[in-house]
Each structure stands twice: as C-alpha cells, then as structure tokens.
Chain A
Amino acid sequence: MQLSATAIRCCYFRRLPVASMITIADSNIDVDELRRQMANPAAGGLCVFEGWIRNENEGRSVERLEYEVYEPLAISEGEKVLAEAMQRYPHLEAICVHRSGLLEIGDCAVWVGVAAAHRDEAFKACRYIIDQIKVRLPIWKKEHYVDGDSGWVNCERCANVV
C-alpha cells in the first residue's frame, strides 16, 4: 500500500503501522473511533470538520443523498491533497474519510481531522483539505428529493453532456 507523506511521517512519529490516511467508507463513519486515532502526545489540539447531510438544498426538500466515488483516483488525489496540506501547514497527522453509497439526513458524509502542535496549523490544514477534496476528488452526489425527483449536484449546466 502506498503511503502519503502524512502517513509516512505519522508512522515514524508513532511507531505504528498507519494505513492510507484517506479512505472511502461504504457504511457509517465512526467519528468517535477516528477521534481516538488522532491522539498524539505532541498535539496541542485537534481540528475536525464533519460534513453532514442536510434536508434542504437550493429551496428543495432533500430526503436522502447518494454518493458515487471512483475510488482509485479519489484515494490517489486525496493523498496528494494531504501531502500538500502537510507542506503548507505543517502538522502532526491528518485523517480523511469520505462516504460512498446512500446516506440519510443527518449522516456524516465526510470527516477531516488534523492534529497539530498549535491551533493555527490545525485550522488551516483542515480547511485546505476539505476545500480541495470538494473540488478535486472524483466524487459525485445525487440528491433524492421529497417530491420523488432526483438530480446530480453541480450538474445543472451539463445536463446533456456526453
């Protein structure tokens, strides 16, 4: 398994085997377990972003949401994002988990955690990671509305493409 720069650094620091720091989950994200994994004696803080499924988008009532992920490139591109975040805002470790499949209102769709010695790096790295993940990883979401209709998010202008 190829490790990101972040993962390699964490392996060295903690002397523990660390898997790829970005993963795609097809079932509920265990946020408590992820928080425990971030424990680090050199960390002064942990910054976490959780993306949740909300019940409304652009005036339409949403019933559930479906994520499609092309995992090979989502992982490789996500590892690049984590490495960039480490270089820009040096921190101790970062973990990102993104859901695939069908999610209900209130479910956690994405979890990003960054542990750092100081809060500034933690906040900035966390923000960088979630912002880049949203625009770079091959992940798509289809909203299923209460009225029975459905639609791909961000695809309004490409309804006829290909």
Chain B
Amino acid sequence: MKTITVKYFAMFREHAGLGEETLQLDAATALDVFEQTRARHQSTEPNGHCKVAINDQMADWDAAVSDGDTVLLFPPVAGG
C-alpha cells in the first residue's frame, strides 16, 4: 500500500465534495489511482479526455506512482 494524496479540480472537486484527500492505495500507475478514486466516489466513467499530473508534472496514465506522491486529476480542460 502507498500513501497517495489525490487532488481534484473543477467538476471532479464538485462531484467528490472535496479538493483533496490522502489515501492508502494499492496503485502502481496514475491510472490505478484514477480508477480507485473513481470507485471510491461511485462513478463508472472512463478517464476519456481527462489528464493527470504527478507532483506538479504532467504525466501519462501509465506513469508509475510512488509512496508519498501527489496525484492531480484533471477533468477535460476548456481554456480560451
């Protein structure tokens, strides 16, 4: 198990009802974190056009996560 801090933004934050939480997760990749938090907050939606960052660096979904990491989950962006 790893201690992972997960941060939620925009729609994700509103749905989860919180901006961040620190969890004990059995996660190897960023996608594992996404899927486990998705289950935690009772959603069945895929990652689709969402993005992820690890420790303030944009990352791929298959990027490895380590104990103590902060994973940022971004819903589809809409700048401009």
Interface set of A (CB-CB < 8 Å, partner B): 51, 67-68, 70, 72-74, 76-77, 98, 109-110, 130, 133-142, 152-155, 157-162
**Contact call A155/B11, Cβ cutoff below 8 A:** yes
Min CB gap B17→A, angstroms: 11
**Contact call A161/B12, Cβ cutoff below 8 A:** yes
**Contact call B41/A153, Cβ cutoff below 8 A:** no
**Contact call A157/B58, Cβ cutoff below 8 A:** no
What is the total number of residues of chain B having a CB less than 8 Å from a CB of chain A?
32
Chain B residues numbered 1-22 whose CB sits less than 8 Å from any CB in chain A:
8-12, 15-16
**Contact call A162/B79, Cβ cutoff below 8 A:** no
Q: A142-B10, A160-B45, A162-B37 are known; give 20 further A-B pairs, CB within 8 A.
A: A68-B10, A98-B79, A109-B80, A134-B80, A138-B51, A138-B53, A138-B74, A139-B77, A139-B79, A140-B75, A152-B10, A154-B49, A155-B76, A157-B49, A158-B75, A160-B43, A161-B11, A161-B12, A162-B8, A162-B43
Chain A contacts of B45 at CB under 8 A?
A: 157-161
**Contact call B38/A161, Cβ cutoff below 8 A:** yes
**Contact call A158/B79, Cβ cutoff below 8 A:** no
Chain B contacts of A51 at CB under 8 A?
A: 80
Chain B contacts of A136 at CB under 8 A?
A: 77
Chain A contacts of B47 at CB under 8 A?
A: 161
Min CB gap B53→A, angstroms: 6
Min CB gap A70→B, angstroms: 6
